[in-house]
A and B are shown apart, each in its own frame.
Chain A
Amino acid sequence: MLTIENLHASIAGKEILKGINLTVGKGEVHAIMGPNGSGKSTLSNVLVGHPAYTVTEGSVTFCGKDLLAMAPEDRSHEGIFLSFQYPVEIPGVSMVNFMRTAVNEQRAYRGLQPLSANEFLKLMREKRALVGLDSKLANRSVNEGFSGGEKKRNEIYQMAMLEPLLSILDETDSGLDIDALRIVAEGVNKLHTRENSIIVITHYQRLLNYIHPDVVHVLYEGRIVKTAGPELALELEERGYDWIKEG
């Protein structure tokens, strides 16, 4: 589904990604771990097309298409979703309005008719129940006044509504207590099928107890320095990152 080849990217003139190679197949769950500053967030931002980052070399193919040539909204329409580490608040814009615009723009891109008001509300209720989001939150402005945990849960809710092929979870576990973590992970697991893939970006093993990865990568100083199965995460938990840095 996703093939990254020799990806170099920089921000404000400083090179952060120094040649990333990564392949994610359909239905797979990949974990990307690494110490602070290794480039984890840069990678996710580059994949979704954040304008602050410049790709200086390399290519990214998504479902056979050149991802880097697409505008951020088109990447979304093609099926890429990012669960932000720090979801922004948009006061005055209701979740309903926001999601309806997003869903209908996606449908328009795919040549489908927009959903009627009734159909849309039904979809919202369905997905809310699936991820366990309080109806109170769904009636508020986007992320306004949401706690950290509620914001993360809202990200997963949006993921449920947009049904992406590839979901990137950028440090979804940061700022969550055990219970919130479990609820968020449950939501993600429910949405995961053999047809879609997930990239989990995290520091800690904890989330991976709930969302089981097929493959674990370690990102260090802009490169993937180690790739292995899920046991790698456990090893990192025990030994930290130093042994990677030395090796």
Chain B
Amino acid sequence: MKSKEDNKDLRQLTEEKYKYGFTTDVATDIIERGLNEDVVRLISAKKGEPDWLLDFRLKAYRHWLTMTCPTWAHLTIPDIDFQAISYYADPRRKTDGPRSLDDIDPAVMKTFDKLGIPLEERLALSGGMAVDAVMDSVSVKTTFKERLKEKGIIFCSISEAVREYPDLVRQYLGSVVSYRDNFYAALNSAVFSDGSFVYIPKGVRCPMELSTYFRINAAGTGQFERTLIVADDDSYVSYLEGCTAPMRDENQLHAAIVEIIVLDRAEVKYSTVQNWYPGDAEGKGGVYNFVTKRGHCRGVNSKISWTQVETGSAITWKYPSCVLSGDNSVGEFYSVAVTNNYQQADTGTKMIHLGRNTRSTIISKGISAGHSSNAYRGLVRVGENADNARNYSQCDSLLLGDQCGAHTFPYMDIHNETAVVEHEATTSKISEDQLFYCNQRGIKTEDAIGLIVNGYAKEVLNKLPMEFAVEAQKLLSVSLEGAVG
């Protein structure tokens, strides 16, 4: 537990580092906007990367130049000027954000209150100071890192991993999501900034949820984040990404890649709670969250479980998927996607059954409110040799109000007659009768919606690690404020 003294020191320390960062040469802090081969080389040089990685980036960049942005999604995406984006920013640079808690928008403070965000994290979340300063000062983090080291678990930034464990990174980077996979994967592979690298050695069960104390992404790296998780034979890890706090970012486009490799009898649980700035009530601004997440169940009896609670971003476009190569491997996808005001979401999953006796479960709960549009898109593919594949999919949509939309696009591509594939879908509204019943029992409408929505999403929220689950519940209520009436 942090004491008051720690907090005081923390602030002083932060301000010092902040000032210090400000006196360095400003020219090196931000690269000019625009993307060309020189920019890619510059990014790689700034990070001190080895040739093989520069090569990887350049190949990706050159391939990206031959591609165009896909248009098949149920989304309206304004044209993005890729030359108007800055592709590298030192995370320690001065930002235009608030300098003290008093500078933070009172409405945002209210949200922080509702979500129970500690005071020391609020400034960082508002873009007001370099995040690593916060993280570095947290004494809990040091003991945490020691425990992991004892077990041989590697958990560090990708940049650090490239320096310290190059062979490991080289072996797996791009092996699940090739830069050729899609337009944004190519872009990310060329200009990725940073992200997490996790390696769990054989037979090791990671003793704590990774990322619990690293809830805040490093400022400026959320843009093109790259995460790589490798679980060796008989290992287990639960990884948490994101946080419930509303995250402001001056960078509108977020194109991340997450790759997961799971070997024999190992398991990775990957949970995401995402609340990037969704734009205002008129639909202006907001983050575009275009993510490629894929897990490879490479080993026999391997398992990957994706759980996501998506409430933010102006546009969400992502399909955390599982390739079930290993015999008896299991893939799971649990999702709650909320859209309000003018948000758009086209999200779902792909379960690719290749090995024998593979199983996949898909539970998708969409909640639409305001004028938003929420689409589930899912693919279940069973390969020719994938004997005895089993899939169960359930896609539910909940509509609040009559100006929003919910759509379902389930695809089934089955090439083996022993496959058993089940699909269920429901669409419902919160009825006025239900709300009035709650009112008559003394529960005001806002709380009634919270109860009903959380009940609806319960099945998915139960899959989240405890701490996240509690936060996610609050987040659902907060995201739907004012949605009915």
Chain A residues engaging chain B, CB cutoff 8 angstroms:
48-51, 71-73, 75-77, 81-82, 84, 87-88, 90-94, 97-98, 101-102, 105-106, 109, 141-142, 158, 162
Q: Knowing A92-B452, A94-B455, A97-B451, say if A73 contacts B444 (CB, 8 Å).
A: yes
Chain A residue at minimum C-beta to C-beta distance from B459: A92
B458 contacts the other chain (Cβ, under 8 Å)?
yes
B455 and A77 form a contact (CB under 8 A): no
Residue of A48, A141, A142 most packed against chain B (CB within 10 A): A142
Q: How far is the CA of A72 from the CA of B435 in the complex (A)?
A: 11
Question: How many contacts A-B (CB < 8 Å)?
Answer: 74
Most-contacted residue by chain B among A88, A94, A106, A141 (CB, 10 A) = A88
- Residues of chain B touching chain A, judged by Cβ–Cβ distance below 8 Å, are 431-434, 436-445, 447, 451-452, 454-456, 458
- A48: which B residues are within 8 A, CB to CB? 440
- The answer to whether A101 touches B447, judged by C-beta atoms less than 8 angstroms apart, is yes
Task: Report yes or no: A82 in contact with B434, Cβ–Cβ below 8 A.
Answer: no
A84 CA to B439 CA in the complex, in Å? 13
Contacts of A71 in B (CB 8 A): 439, 444
Closest to B439 in A: A72
A-B contact pairs, 21 of them (CB 8 A): A49-B440, A51-B432, A71-B444, A73-B443, A73-B445, A75-B440, A76-B440, A81-B440, A84-B437, A87-B437, A90-B452, A90-B455, A92-B455, A92-B456, A93-B454, A93-B455, A97-B455, A98-B451, A101-B447, A101-B451, A105-B442
B195 CB to nearest chain A CB (Å): 35
**Beyond A73-B440, A93-B451, A94-B455, 7 extra complex contacts between A and B, CB < 8 Å:** A81-B440, A92-B456, A92-B458, A101-B451, A106-B442, A158-B441, A162-B442
Of all chain A residues, which has the CB nearest B456?
A92
- Given A92-B456, A92-B458, A93-B455, answer yes or no on A102-B443 (Cβ-Cβ < 8 Å): yes
Nearest B residue to A90 by beta-carbon distance?
A: B434
Q: In the complex, A91→B452 CA distance in Å?
A: 8
Q: Known contacts being A90-B434, A92-B458, A105-B447, is A72 close to B452, with CB within 8 Å?
A: no
Minimum Cβ distance to chain B for residue A217 (Å): 23
- List the B residue with the shortest CB-CB distance to A93: B455
CB distance from B436 to the nearest CB of A (A): 6
Query: A88 and B431: CB pair below 8 A?
Result: yes
Q: Which residues of B contact A162 (CB under 8 A)?
A: 441-442
**Assembled-state Cα–Cα distance A28/B455 (Å):** 39
Q: Are B439 and A73 in contact (CB under 8 A)?
A: yes
Q: Shortest CB–CB separation between residue A158 and chain B, in angstroms?
A: 7
A87 to B433, CA, bound (A): 9
Cα distance, A102 to B437, chains bound together (Å): 11
Q: Please list the 4 inter-chain residue pairs (A to B) with the smallest Cβ-Cβ separation, ordered nearest first.
A: A92-B455, A76-B442, A93-B455, A72-B439
Q: Which residue of A lies closest to B436 (CB)?
A: A50
Cα–Cα, bound, A91→B431 (Å): 12
A91 in contact with B442 given A51-B432, A72-B436 (CB within 8 Å): no
Docked pose: A71 CA to B439 CA in angstroms: 9
Q: Please state if B458 and A90 are interface contacts (CB–CB under 8 Å).
A: no
Q: How far is the CB of B133 from chain A (nearest CB, A)?
A: 38
In the assembled complex, the CB of A84 is this many whole angstroms from the nearest CB of chain B, namely 7
A218 CB to closest chain B CB, in angstroms?
A: 26
CA distance A76 to B447 in the complex (A): 15
**A53 CA to B447 CA in the complex, in Å?**
23
**Contacting pair B452 A93 (CB below 8 A):** yes
* Distance from A172 Cβ to chain B, minimum over Cβ atoms (Å): 15
A105/B440 contact (C-beta < 8 A), A90-B452, A93-B452, A97-B451 known: no
Task: State whether B443 touches A101 (Cβ < 8 A).
Answer: yes
Contact across chains for A76 and B431 when beta carbons are under 8 A apart = no
Minimum C-beta distance from A29 to chain B (A):
21
Give CA–CA (A105, B440) in the complex, Å. Answer: 12
- CB-defined contacts of B455 to chain A, threshold 8 Å: 90-94, 97, 141
Q: Which residues of chain B are within 8 angstroms of A90 by Cβ–Cβ distance?
A: 434, 437-438, 451-452, 455
What chain A residues lie within 8 Å of B433 (beta carbons)? 88
CA distance in complex: A187, B436 (Å): 24
List, in ascending order, chain A residues with CB within 8 A of B438's CB.
Answer: 90, 98, 102
